[in-house]
Amino acid sequence: MRFIVSTSTLLKHLQTVNGASSSSTVLPILENFLFEIKEGNLTISATDLQTSMTTSLPVESKEDGKVAVPAKILLDTLKTLPDQPISFNIDNTTFSIEISAGEGKYKLSGENGDDFPKIPVVENASSVSLPASVLSEAITKTIFAVSNDELRPAMTGVYCQLSDQFITFVATDAHKLVRYRRMDSKADKTASFILPKKALTLLKAALPTGDMNVAVDYNATSAFFKFDNINLVCRLIDERYPDYEAVIPANNPNKLIIDRALFLNTLRRVVIFANKTTHQVRLKINGSELNISSEDLDFANEAHERLSCQYEGEDLEIGFNARFLIEMLSNLSGEEVTLELSTPNRAGLLIPQTNDENENVLMLVMPVMLNNYN
């Protein structure tokens, strides 16, 4: 089997799917790419058994065939080569691969392509089409709030709820929660599933920037994303997602409106002086004045800043983990944000003051108990 392809084109496609491959000691073949040639088209696949990605590109080839190629050595070689045609010669019995590029010849040993795990195909699936920009924005807005706690597998992914009115994406780690809702994207029927974090990270990196639609097919076990010449398949997290609506407080009489960038930069400064394990900051609201303070008693460090804001409600003092607030404010857009509060022991809601009627973003953060010694 022999084929010729441009180094830069091949490298671009390999880097797209490389994230799906695995450095598995149990199944070494997962450290390879599967190269399949059919009628002058090269399909490249990578998988870690949970997430699989395939991409295809035209190549110069007269015969069909397949081989598993070691991922790392091939990527490292291509990165150092200039943009030029490169030819692959594969022995169909020993699976040894000879690469010729310019004046150079490189040999590496491949494996039998038939031993590579089968990439799942769409069966009994329902489908929905989403613009790439919507999907990308939904992943960006939610993925930072996903939990890394393996003991709560449901929270290690993003929960997608499809309905005929809107599509909702939810992520939480029990300290913070994000609900991202799109009014301009709908599905024909109601469904919900949990997408794993790794698959979403790969998907976001591969998504095109233009106004392209992504076909999303899903069944009871897997989700399939298709766009350009890229296919991504991932196993869904087979767990029940917690009832997140019950956590969102409905009645929040205290509303604070503040400049997002100002609030964010103040928190970044004040947290430097906070305790290094709790990152606790104190928000004290009196009239139209917000006092943000932090202290680290171990080192006698403290910081106080005063900001002006619009505030409706009773005077209030509440503590938060500044790292969570900083993460949330960094992932929000719009000039101003509303912080809705009820009592010092109930969750606070961060809502951006944007005019986009197609998106509805709500971020929730749990407070921390304050020690009142000042």
pLDDT digit string, tens, across residues 76-114: 999 999 999 999 999 999 999 999 999 999 999 999 999
User: What number is the average pLDDT over the span 307-325?
Assistant: 95
- Yes or no: say if 96 and 110 are a contact pair by the CB < 8 Å rule: yes
Average pLDDT of every residue of the chain: 94
Give the span between the Cα atoms of 329 and 336, in whole angstroms.
10
Helical spans, DSSP H, in the chain = 7-18, 71-80, 132-143, 197-206, 260-270, 322-330
Alpha carbon of 318 to those of 159, 210, 254, 280, 336: distances in Å?
29, 43, 12, 10, 20
- pTM, entire model: 0.92
Please report where in the chains the tokens 């195909």 appear, as a residue.
121
126-244 and 248-368, same CATH topology: yes
Choose the CATH number for 2-115 among 3.10.150.10, 3.40.50.970, 3.40.470.10, 3.40.50.261: 3.10.150.10
User: What number is the average pLDDT over the span 140-146?
Assistant: 96
- Look at residue 182 in the predicted model and tell me its pLDDT: 95
Give the span between the Cα atoms of 200 and 161, in whole angstroms.
15
User: Please, which pLDDT band fits residue 210 given cuts at 50, 70 and 90?
Assistant: confident
Choice between 371 and 200, residue whose per-residue pLDDT is larger? 200
Structure tokens at 164: 């005929």
CATH architecture of the domain formed by 126-244: Roll (3.10)
Helical spans, DSSP H, in 282-357 = 322-330
Of 206, 209, 211, 201, the closest CA to residue 13 belongs to: 206
Examine the pLDDT at 372 and tell me if it is beyond 70: no
Give the span between the Cα atoms of 325 and 176, in whole angstroms.
9
Alpha carbon of 339 to those of 36, 66, 101, 146, 249: distances in Å?
54, 57, 59, 21, 13
Domain borders along the chain are: 2-115, 126-244, 248-368
- Look at residue 253 in the predicted model and tell me its pLDDT: 95
One-letter identity of residue 261: A
Phi, psi angle pair for 13, to nearest 5°: -70, -40
Give the span between the Cα atoms of 269 and 34, in whole angstroms.
49
User: Please, which pLDDT band fits residue 255 given cuts at 50, 70 and 90?
Assistant: very high
pLDDT digits (tens, 9 = 90+) for 268-308: 999 999 999 999 999 999 999 999 999 998 899 999 999 99
- Look at residue 23 in the predicted model and tell me its pLDDT: 82
Give the span between the Cα atoms of 256 and 350, in whole angstroms.
10
Examine the pLDDT at 374 and tell me if it is beyond 60: no
What is the tally of helices (H) and strands (E) in the chain? Answer: 6, 28
- Look at residue 355 in the predicted model and tell me its pLDDT: 67
Cβ-in-10-Å burial (0-12, 13-18, 19+) of 373 comes to exposed
User: What number is the average pLDDT over the span 246-265?
Assistant: 95
User: Please, which pLDDT band fits residue 370 given cuts at 50, 70 and 90?
Assistant: confident
User: What number is the average pLDDT over the span 116-140?
Assistant: 94
The helix/strand/coil state of 246 is helix
Examine the pLDDT at 221 and tell me if it is beyond 90: yes
Please report where in the chains the tokens 């969570």 appear, as a residue.
324
CATH 3.40.50.150 fits 248-368, yes or no: no
User: What number is the average pLDDT over the span 329-339?
Assistant: 94
